[in-house]
Structure 1
Amino acid sequence: MTAEAFAPAKINLTLHVTGQRADGYHLLDSLVAFADIGDRLLLTPGADLSLEVTGTCSDGVPTDARNLARRAAEALGWTGHIALDKVLPHGAGLGGGSADAAAVLRALEACGISVPEGLPVSLGADVPVCRLVRAARMQGIGERIAPVGLPALPALLVNPGAHVPTGSVFSALARRDNPGMPAQIPDFEAPPDCADWLKDQRNDLEVPAIGIAPVIDRALADLRRTSEVLIARMSGSGSTCFALYPTMKAAHAAAYEIGAEHPDWWCYATELR
């Protein structure tokens, strides 16, 4: 039977790079939340595996074995047609490919196909947390996931259109043994409390990403100038940046402001959870 799946944008509220294993995998400590915008997938069983990508952000998205959604289906031995409506910018620090793969795993699992332990992280570090689809702390190489309670966080997501290769960003890191987050993440009552705590945390990939794509710095500066902004930071390995606000009204006002100044940027007001 046909299965539908939603792959929401993943936002790294923090991203601490704490080490690197002998096999090259980086160790991370990250607080992750999810937006209400994302890709949509339709899986229709058939004799052969095929993938079609459409949507506003479909340009540059591979349809061959490089596509994580296709690889997820193939890993489970499923055949059929995957129709992917691509809404999230490709290679933008939103976990789009990982979210798509996780959505395929969830959809096929709901159809009775079991997912082997270890498969999600083998597809990518972000796949396990994207499979959970709720705020969580992600550690190790992505295999250690602990759900976290967060208040709904009004936010603005902005992508200035730069494609930043993840490998290049990690290669440009000055150091890989940075401190992690505190052992305990507090219980936050409201967005300002969360934003105040986040100010003492980091995204260790922000500086190297800006070195590769300086327009990220412009996006952050513009977000920090918006009214009522609580904090602005880059997500993942870039180039999408986010800002938090006390209310959705303030987030929408900021979206109007940024969108008017940069009509060619991808800009979306959302609530992170």
Structure 2
Amino acid sequence: MTVAETAYAKINLALHVRGKREDGYHEIETLFAFVDAGDTLVARPAERDSLTTVGEFAQALDNPFDNLVMRALNALPHPQGLEVTLEKNLPVAAGLGGGSADAGAMFRIIEHYHGLPEDWQLRAERLGADVPSCVRSEMAIGRGTGAELEPVKNDMAGMAVLLVNPRIPLPTGPVFKAWAEIGAEVEGGEDRGPLPKGSARTIALKGRNDLREPAISICPQISDVLEELQRDTPFKFEMSGSGATCFAVYEEPAARDDAAHRIAGAHPEWWQMTGMLR
């Protein structure tokens, strides 16, 4: 039996960096949200595990057999092989948790066939800090490295989303390094305070992305994307994760579609995806 899963694009409606940990990771507080669009995984039983990668961004994966889909598959017990096809629609190194979302979708596929082991959260965390949140792909607050999840009142489900990327890959490591350098130069240092309390709408409106300025220092085109998104006065616009993808959230799909059409006309070279918040 064939099983298909969407690897839902992850966005950070707010992302506060609180400091660097002794283990080298960074302490963050973030509001994870998920768009009802992204990569697609299709699996069917086979004699042995295999992965085929197709789609616009398939070539961006240097070694498709060592990506998070295969690592997730190898991390979970399954008595039969699976032949998996990954349609890579999300840009790589884009702040959308694409690899983590793919891994999360693989966890759900294994769950469909065989169920998940009791320690699946730990197995997911070993693959990456964003992977636990991507398994369920439900809005949540993430703390620690992002793997410590807390529920939040989701009063933004069904809102329209526009994702825009200038087609410039932006690895996370250099952005965090720039965050530390910029933090050393500003009043208050690196830690600018905790995530606001309240519902998703409150956190989204009052929260910030501490990685925005560091990312812009490496990829100035992010400023151009944010400027375009701001013109249509969305409910919220911001950079996601460590960039370079930016998002805008709208109360109505028509407003999102108008913005998407205008921006596509002005910048046909930019990547876009539309969807709704889960």
Q: Using structure 1 for the length normalisation, give the TM-score.
A: 0.90
Relative distance call for 1:197 and 1:111 in structure 2 (3 A) is closer
1:88 pairs with one of 87, 90, 114: 90
Aligned residue for 1:35?
35
Q: Does 1:251 align with 2:264?
A: no
Deviation of 1:225 (Å): 1.5
Aligned residue for 2:186?
none
Q: Measure the CA separation in 1 of the matches of 2:240 and 2:139.
A: 14
DSSP-derived class of the 1:222 partner: helix
Instruction: Report 1:36-185 matches (<5 A).
Output: 36-64=36-64, 66-78=66-78, 79-115=81-117, 116-117=119-120, 118-148=122-152, 149-151=154-156, 152-174=158-180, 175=183, 176-182=190-196, 184-185=197-198
Deviation of 1:20 (Å): 2.2
The CA RMSD measured in Å over matched residues stands at 1.9
DSSP-derived class of the 1:239 partner: coil
Deviation of 1:113 (Å): 4.2
DSSP-derived class of the 1:114 partner: coil
Q: Structure 1: state its 5+ residue gaps.
A: 189-193
Q: Structure 2: state its 5+ residue gaps.
A: 184-189
Q: Using structure 2 for the length normalisation, give the TM-score.
A: 0.88
Q: Measure the CA separation in 2 of the matches of 1:180 and 1:132.
A: 25
Deviation of 1:140 (Å): 1.1
Q: Measure the CA separation in 1 of the matches of 2:51 and 2:135.
A: 20
Q: Measure the CA separation in 2 of the matches of 1:69 and 1:103.
A: 8
Deviation of 1:214 (Å): 0.8
Q: Measure the CA separation in 2 of the matches of 1:41 and 1:218.
A: 32
Amino acid at match of 2:198: I
Amino acid at match of 1:239: A
What CA deviation, in whole Å up to 9, does each residue of 1:228-257 have, x standing for no partner? 423321001111101122311111100000
Q: Measure the CA separation in 2 of the matches of 1:155 and 1:46.
A: 37
Q: Measure the CA separation in 1 of the matches of 2:124 and 2:147.
A: 8
